[in-house]
Amino acid sequence: MQKYSSYAFSVFASFHIANTAIIPLLTRSVPESNRYLLLTRPYYQSALTEPLLVALPLVAHIASGIALRFFRRRQALHRYGAETQTDRKTIPWPSVSGTSALGYALIPLAGFHVWTTRVLPTYMHGDNSMISLSYISHGFALKPFISFAGFTALIGVGAWHFTWGWAKWLNLTPPQVSETESKRHLIKKRRWYAINGVSAVLAGLWLAGGLGIVGRGGKTGGWIGREFDELYNAMPLSRLI
């Protein structure tokens, strides 16, 4: 469940990165990029595709990851014959891998992003049809510190989690090098550098389009800009920063 749920979510992530980073980098224009966003949005934000590509895979991925930890804990207790509460306390929980730690850190970051772009606009205005790259640009101009910090953390954590997760599914992580492989230490080292290199390239590409182009798009004027102001002012952090 954890493995194949990430396959479905990766389809959405590919569309999302293309719309929020690659296309803005190619067009060098937020209004022009919005046209492509609006054209492709129905394909992954419809009433059918959004639950199948985003909501259900995300819930399944997180829930199965937590369930696996409890299952491995139960296996450890059974293996070492922990019969009393005292015995259970002496047996440590399974260690959290770096990929899993990144995944847990991604939950509040992605959750806040979903809340600001999907939930809050629907709650306050009845729908989120006006939410576009211009809305994100408006937020960067209105609240630059929290926007740059938040998006940098979201993109950085997300890029490393995605890349290391896919490397694990493809049996390419350093711990997955065969014990019988010659020059095992060298291969592990090369894999570590390669995976982190791919993560850095993905994060750099995403940041270049998301922060370099969208983040510098400026405020939106008129009544749409006032609608954006209302949404951002309704966020709890807006009262602190």
| Mean pLDDT value across the chain | 89
| Burial grade of 236 (CB within 10 A; 0-12, 13-18, 19 or more) | exposed
What are the Cα distances from residue 164, in Å, to 21, 53, 200? 21, 20, 11
Higher-scoring residue by pLDDT: 216, 45: 216
What are the pLDDT digits (tens) for 52-103? Answer: 888 899 999 999 999 999 999 888 888 877 767 777 778 888 889 999 999 9
What are the pLDDT digits (tens) for 169-212? Answer: 999 999 988 877 778 889 999 999 999 999 999 999 999 999 99
Quote the pLDDT of residue 130: 86
N-term to C-term CA, the chain: 40
CA–CA separation, 166 and 168 (whole Å): 5
What are the pLDDT digits (tens) for 10-49? Answer: 988 998 999 999 999 999 999 999 998 888 777 777 777 7
* The two three-digit tokens of residue 160, written as one number: 């490393």
* The two three-digit tokens of residue 4, written as one number: 């194949």
What are the pLDDT digits (tens) for 91-102? Answer: 888 889 999 999
CA–CA separation, 151 and 124 (whole Å): 23
Quote the pLDDT of residue 239: 54
Quote the pLDDT of residue 238: 54
CA–CA separation, 228 and 100 (whole Å): 35
Which pLDDT band holds residue 237 (cuts at 50, 70, 90)?
low
CA–CA separation, 229 and 117 (whole Å): 13
CA–CA separation, 90 and 93 (whole Å): 10
Which alpha helices (H) appear in the chain, and where do they start and end?
Answer: 2-17, 23-27, 30-44, 49-50, 56-79, 85-90, 98-114, 120-125, 133-142, 144-169, 184-210, 222-233
Q: What's this model's pTM, rounded to 2 decimal places?
A: 0.89
